[in-house]
Amino acid sequence: MPRALTVVLLICVLAAQGCTVFDDPAAEAEASAAAAAAAAPRECPAGFARALKPKSYGVLSKTMNPRSSSKEVPPESLPLPKVLTSKIVCAVRQENDDFRQVIAIMRADLSYEDVRHALWDADFDSGGRDAVYVRSSFVPYGDIEAALTLTYGSSPTFAPVENLFPPATQVAFFSIRSKPLKSKPQPPVPSLADLETGTVGFWSCGWSPTINSDWHDDVLCTNGTRQKRPYLLPNDSFVTRDEIMRAANEYERHLNGE
């Protein structure tokens, strides 16, 4: 049998068996991704919340500690518009004494662009940053104030449960605004009668930080009946505790006439 005829017959046999000589890698990858998305869980798998590794990211600031609790929460219970919660298939709340966040796994068929537009529709703004969004309107305490988007496969949080969702699944890490810190109570200011009858002793200046984001007034001086809160190192834009305590010692010597 001529060689050319043998080649033609072989091609015909391969075609009859459903083999294709030329394939389309892009179409094959798209079909594979669609199949993975269709098979992805539609809710949090059993034990998913307990298995997550507590961790925070970027704009979410504070680090979670090992005692942090994790629990599944219904997406519709989150303080977010339905336009966003309707796209969440699994939500886990993590918190400790000073940090709270929600991990929201989005529908596996959504792309990064889909999630980005959903965040915009829910009143989040990227501010020109990639994958980081901040709530653009006033956010009351206990509400969600920021979001960071990652893919399921790129986050070490999901290492213990990495095979449950497709790696390309979009995940939003939502930061929950904590309650304000309680102001440290200030010593009572002595009355005029106390000042008139009290005995003036030596002045002593000590570290007494205020909750006002100003380093210059974190020292309080007292002589037993009177108090002064000096404004030290006013020309320095950044003041460390060591620097202000050196200035406090000098101010203390000045008050005592040394």
Look at residues 161, 84, 167, 148 and name the one whose alpha carbon lies nearest to residue 118. Answer: 84
The β-bridge partners of 147 are 133, 174
Same domain, 166 and 221: no
Same domain, 100 and 204: no
Q: Which residue among 124, 142, 176 closes a domain?
A: 176
In the chain, the amino acid numbered 177 is R
Whether 14 maps to a domain, the answer reads: no
Say what the pLDDT of residue 56 is: 46
State the residue range of the domain holding 229: 192-255
For residue 67, what are its two tokens? 């005692």
Whether 7 maps to a domain, the answer reads: no
Whether 159 has a pLDDT exceeding 80, the answer reads: yes
Q: Model confidence over 185-207: pLDDT tens digits?
A: 555 555 555 444 444 568 899 98
**Would you put residue 96 in left (φ > 0), alpha (ψ -120 to 50) or beta?**
beta
For residue 238, what are its two tokens? 């950044």
Q: How far is CA 255 from CA 66, 191, 235, in A?
A: 48, 21, 21
Q: Which residue among 113, 142, 176 closes a domain?
A: 176
Q: Which of 92-101, 104-113, 173-182, 215-224 has the highest mean pLDDT?
A: 104-113
In the chain, the amino acid numbered 195 is L
Whether 182 maps to a domain, the answer reads: no
Say what the pLDDT of residue 25 is: 81
Contact 11, 21 (CB under 8 A): yes
pTM for the predicted model, two decimal places: 0.57
37 Cβ contact partners less than 8 Å away, ≥ 6 residues apart: 107, 108, 109, 166
Say what the pLDDT of residue 67 is: 57
Return the number of other C-beta atoms located less than 10 Å from residue 154's C-beta: 11
